[in-house]
Structure 1
Amino acid sequence: MASPTTPAPNGIVLIDKPQGFTSHDAVARMRRLAGTRKVGHAGTLDPMATGLLILGLGSSTRLLTFIVGLSKEYLATIRLGSSSTTDDAQGDLLGFAPQSQLDRVTDELIAEGIIPLTGEIEQVPSTFSAIKVDGKRAYALAREGESVELKARAVTIHAFEILGISRGVDEAGNGFIDVDVRVECSSGTYIRALARDLGFKLGVGGHLTALRRTRIGSFHVSDAHDLDKLEHAPELLTPADVARGIFPVVDLNQTQALELSQGKKVFLEGFPDSAEPVAAIGPEDRLVGLITVKKNQSRVVVNFPTETEKS
């Protein structure tokens, strides 16, 4: 743990989560490596999934709320020919389509099936999801054998691109079609549900067998640290640098930075009105807070303390 005289770590770190780790596992490991309890993550990845997980340390955890809502990119493999209880390979399979039925699913039909799953769509989340129903997680209710009905929600699929299609037979003699895809989507999209819905549209069932998150907003997995190779806490991205990648920026002088940190309104001559957050950055490249602006006056959305908690 950090000593009483040493500020606790404060910043953002990009992690490449390996398969088999939960998001909670990743947070727990970073707590040990960084010596602080104050660690959070932006956007859960299932244990089966790999790829980009963004962790916040110290007061930078306040940025995670805004990172969660950014668009995302995934690489995935959809297996056509069978559905599962969880819509992915972690669940129990629910039977197999006959080979004669699979033979009728051409590459062209797969491409046509993706079209109505692109753009602004209404998506019913997977039953085994973390969405709360009457105060309990849907996956917990499903595991208890309760019937779970989730409402459709609006999501946007910016891109649903086929990267490759392969056909085969498993060890039990059941045929399948594997479709490798790239998906760019809004926050809240379930890639498992896309696999389920594509299989349904084609009449052969479908579930996800591989998933890798490659991007969140402007943050890319190519810049991430391999979690299973970390032996000590990595260098953190500063709150100011992260905020620049998410929000418009206004630079403050020393007086403005002090007044804003005290919760006061600051006059920002010539700065356009903004109902969306603006990053207010002070001297020494310190993220003072997130603000909105109306008639050249700031309004604090969230402030960032000058000192992080001591652990």
Structure 2
Amino acid sequence: MVDPGLVVVDKDPGMTSHDVVSRVRRLAGTRKVGHAGTLDPMATGVLVLGVDRATRLLGHLMLTEKAYDATIRLGVATTTDDAEGEVVSTRAVDGVSEDVVRTELARFVGDIEQVPTAVSAIKVDGKRAYARVRDGEQVELKARPVTIHELVVHEVDLPEVRISVRCSSGTYIRAIARDLGAALGVGGHLTALRRTAVGSFDLSVARTLEQHSDDFAVLPIADAARASFPVVDLDDEQAGHVRFGRALDLVLPAAGPHAVFAPDGGFLALYEPHGERARPVAVFV
């Protein structure tokens, strides 16, 4: 079995995120593998997985921002808001101009309320929304706050629109396609999606499963923590308190989890601010 750490995969189209987890379990020699942020089968790109104790980092990685390249097809709405669903309406886009498309897309930037797509992994009364839709149920999800940090329009070649999005975790790019089509009165859905980054991990460090099969690359847990969170180096006394899961008399420089390290460079835990002190989120020693 390999040492605990993160595995960054460039997912191929047609695979579920669980398919990737299964492959990495075999490569790592352990069943203790999880992933941060589901990618739809149609989507490609960055999928971050944790092996062994590093799986405990994943819930915190899911809170980071993500980046995508996407292609939207206007004039056609589907049941899933992407190309894998059934067509529910078709309308001409003759009356839609490039300027109007760009103006509407600009409205998505910032803090917005977004209704997730019904075919999603969100749980409704303990059951995944996509499972309820598959069973023929009507699913209505509530709007939730998300943040679109940046939305770049690369090309408007109607009926297709190519964009890049940098957004908070929990944002559905399919919902942007759906809502853009609704705002323009013609419908819309996603035809291509590639995730280019999860937090600090981007395509430059991602490897396909085929590449991992030839040379399995695991980023050690200490390096993963340094790459993912603000770093705080502790003295011997503070490190001793961490090993017992105690709060520290320490003012952390920012909100959110911080990776704390022993004087010898060993990764100890994630701590977060709590008033004038710091409290443990997850201890790894």
TM-score (norm 1): 0.85
| Corresponding residue for residue 188 of structure 2 | 206
Consecutive unaligned residues in structure 2, runs of 5 or more: none
Structure 2 matches for 1:155-304, cutoff 5 A? Answer: 155-167=146-158, 177-232=159-214, 234-266=216-248, 271-272=251-252, 276-292=256-272, 298-304=278-284
Structure 1 residue 109 displacement after superposition: 1.1
Distance 2:208 2:243 in 1: 36
> CA separation of 1:261/1:92 partners in 2, compared to 1, >3 Å: closer, same or farther?
same
Alignment of 1:138 with 2:129, yes or no, is yes
Distance 2:116 2:241 in 1: 45
Q: Is this contact kept in 1: 2:3–2:220, CA < 8 A? A: no
Structure 1 residue 147 displacement after superposition: 1.1
Consecutive unaligned residues in structure 1, runs of 5 or more: 3-7, 168-176, 306-311
SS in 2 for 1:182: strand
Distance 2:144 2:247 in 1: 38
Distance 1:191 1:26 in 2: 21
> CA separation of 1:82/1:274 partners in 2, compared to 1, >3 Å: closer, same or farther?
closer
Distance 2:275 2:176 in 1: 44
Residue by residue over 1:59-101, the C-alpha shift from the partner in whole angstroms, topping out at 9 and shown as x without a partner, is 1111101100101110000000100000000101113113xxx
Structure 1 residue 122 displacement after superposition: 0.9
| Corresponding residue for residue 66 of structure 1 | 60
Letter in 1 for 2:175: A
Distance 1:293 1:182 in 2: 33
Structure 2 matches for 1:42-61, cutoff 5 A? Answer: 42-61=36-55
> CA separation of 1:157/1:236 partners in 2, compared to 1, >3 Å: closer, same or farther?
same
Alignment of 1:149 with 2:129, yes or no, is no
Root-mean-square deviation (Å): 2.0
> CA separation of 1:178/1:282 partners in 2, compared to 1, >3 Å: closer, same or farther?
same
Letter in 2 for 1:235: A
Distance 1:211 1:47 in 2: 10
Q: After TM superposition, what 4+ stretches of structure 1 lie above 4 angstroms from structure 2?
A: 265-268, 271-275, 293-298
SS in 2 for 1:222: coil
Alignment of 1:31 with 2:11, yes or no, is no
Distance 1:115 1:103 in 2: 21
Letter in 1 for 2:178: R
> CA separation of 1:294/1:273 partners in 2, compared to 1, >3 Å: closer, same or farther?
farther
Alignment of 1:116 with 2:107, yes or no, is yes
Count how many residue pairs are aligned between Structure 1 and Structure 2: 285
Structure 1 residue 218 displacement after superposition: 1.6
Structure 1 residue 242 displacement after superposition: 2.1
Structure 1 residue 118 displacement after superposition: 1.9
Letter in 2 for 1:117: F
| Corresponding residue for residue 309 of structure 1 | none
> CA separation of 1:119/1:239 partners in 2, compared to 1, >3 Å: closer, same or farther?
same
Structure 1 residue 226 displacement after superposition: 1.1
Moved more, 72-81 or 235-244: 235-244
- Give the % identical residues: 51
Distance 1:11 1:76 in 2: 30
Structure 1 residue 249 displacement after superposition: 1.9
Structure 1 residue 267 displacement after superposition: 5.3
Distance 1:298 1:166 in 2: 52
Structure 1 residue 209 displacement after superposition: 0.3
Q: Is this contact kept in 2: 1:15–1:226, CA < 8 A? A: yes
Distance 2:249 2:117 in 1: 48
Q: Is this contact kept in 2: 1:18–1:228, CA < 8 A? A: no
Residue by residue over 1:153-210, the C-alpha shift from the partner in whole angstroms, topping out at 9 and shown as x without a partner, is 111111121111224xxxxxxxxx0101001111101000000010111111100000
Q: Is this contact kept in 1: 2:121–2:130, CA < 8 A? A: yes
| 1:93 corresponds to which of 69, 87, 104 | 87
